[in-house]
Copies of this chain bind each other. A is one copy, B any other.
Amino acid sequence: MVDEICHICNDKATGKHYGAISCDGCKGFFRRSIRKKRSYVCRFDHNCPVDKNHRNSCRACRLRKCLIAGMKSNAIQNERDTIGKRKKPLESLDGGGPETSSLRDLSEEMVIELLLQSERLCQQLRSSVIKSTEQVSYDSGKTRSAFAERFRPEERRASIDDIGKSIRQQLLLLVEWAKSLPQFQSLTLMDQACLLKANATQIIVLGVAYRSVSMEDTICLANDALISREHAALVGDINCVVRRILDELVVPIRRLSIELPDYVALKAIVFFNPVSHDVTDYERVDGARLECLAALEKRCARIEEIAMRGGSRCRLGRLLLLLPPLQAIAQQLIEDVQLAAVFGVANVDALMQELILQDASANNVITTLAATPTIPIKVEP
């Protein structure tokens, strides 16, 4: 035995189990979880420590680490005869049922897990982008330290320029995000471009809304610039969109206490819209959407089970009902940008032209898609 440390919790390992070096505890935990088709929900931030002393504190994170460590659910065999007691009359199972279903359950966990990974990647990218382009132009006209900006919101008030900048930045991140998704990679380049064109604005608006849950009546742009409801009222053009984001998205999101896994699943569901304009492979896109939907459904069922009496009834439905307003707001934003472009107020670059204004004649994004990652992303004025 070369490796004596459990790859999940660092306890003493007892050998390889289900594909990963692990201790008896993690072995038993994994078997029980798969057998009983359990799906857990993390009550914290999905990065709970999993070690010998804390491995029982969060089953969601423990199972996640089991999967990451390489445990395979199809290594779980069918129940055997009981050792000590009278055996049950065993039924012959037809058609390899249990293995298929345990595989599917597992992939539901994995779907969210993969989406979370893509999300973390993009959040890292975003942080580095914000740092590297710290000199965003605020209305104050002064440059503040990052500390002051973070803790004195009034100093982070967005200018018209910030709005354009944050959209451009988000578009670049969106492309990277999409490229990191396996379901996206399996599409043709044309279909990839169609999905991006058809759904970019919604994804951006959803991101803004989710980022703003902890703010008070204020939305937080991708570059951490802020727009309060009062501020928006002064800038007529964006007034309506900001107000609607706050009323129709941020408030309901807050009521539902949406967490990162909910957000990433919703985002993917919005993105993999099989009736996006000009998409040819309906089945594949719909398949991707259904995967995410099934994962979200499972997660919601689990949450409702735990928080029985809480106001978490119909969670899946209420999450999905965020999408019609999202669609409407994105449409309105597109129109605003269109107007701004016509009047020359906004600085519309090629990517915005293509993904926000959905210019059918533009096809630059395809070259971006085919290229190697465009990271590091730099957004110059």
CB proximity of A324 to chain B, nearest CB, Å = 4
Query: A78-B54, A78-B57, A79-B57 known; A321 and B323 CB under 8 Å?
Result: yes
A308 engages B85 (CB within 8 Å): yes
Query: A269-B321, A314-B293 known; A53 and B40 CB under 8 Å?
Result: no
B40 engages A81 (CB within 8 Å): yes
A337 at the interface (CB under 8 A from B): no
Query: What residues make up the interface of A, taking CB atoms closer than 8 Å to B?
Result: 40, 43, 53-54, 56-60, 77-82, 84-85, 247-248, 252, 269-270, 273, 275, 289-290, 293-294, 296-297, 305-306, 308, 313-314, 316-318, 320-321, 323-328, 331
A56 engages B81 (CB within 8 Å): yes
What is the oligomeric copy number? Answer: 2
B306 engages A82 (CB within 8 Å): yes
Note all chain B residues with C-beta closer than 8 A to A313: 290, 294
Note all chain B residues with C-beta closer than 8 A to A248: 275
Task: Give bound CA distance, A77 to B56, whole Å.
Answer: 9
Task: Give bound CA distance, A85 to B305, whole Å.
Answer: 7
Note all chain B residues with C-beta closer than 8 A to A78: 53-54, 56-57
B305 engages A293 (CB within 8 Å): no
A314 engages B328 (CB within 8 Å): no
Q: Known pairs A273-B324, A320-B321. 16 more at Cβ < 8 A? A: A40-B81, A43-B81, A43-B82, A53-B77, A57-B81, A60-B81, A82-B306, A270-B324, A290-B318, A293-B314, A294-B313, A296-B317, A297-B316, A316-B317, A321-B323, A323-B324
In the complex, which residue of chain B has the Cβ closest to the Cβ of A320?
B320
Task: Give bound CA distance, A328 to B323, whole Å.
Answer: 11
A326 engages B324 (CB within 8 Å): yes
Q: Which of A247, A290, A293, A321 has the most CB of B within 10 A?
A: A321
B318 engages A293 (CB within 8 Å): yes
Note all chain B residues with C-beta closer than 8 A to A270: 324
Note all chain B residues with C-beta closer than 8 A to A294: 313-314
User: A327: which of B56, B59, B296, B328 is its contact (CB, 8 Å)?
Assistant: B328
A-B contact pairs, 26 of them (CB 8 A): A40-B81, A43-B82, A56-B78, A57-B78, A58-B81, A60-B81, A84-B305, A84-B306, A85-B305, A85-B306, A85-B308, A247-B275, A269-B321, A270-B324, A273-B324, A289-B321, A290-B314, A293-B318, A293-B321, A294-B314, A297-B317, A316-B316, A323-B324, A325-B327, A327-B327, A327-B328
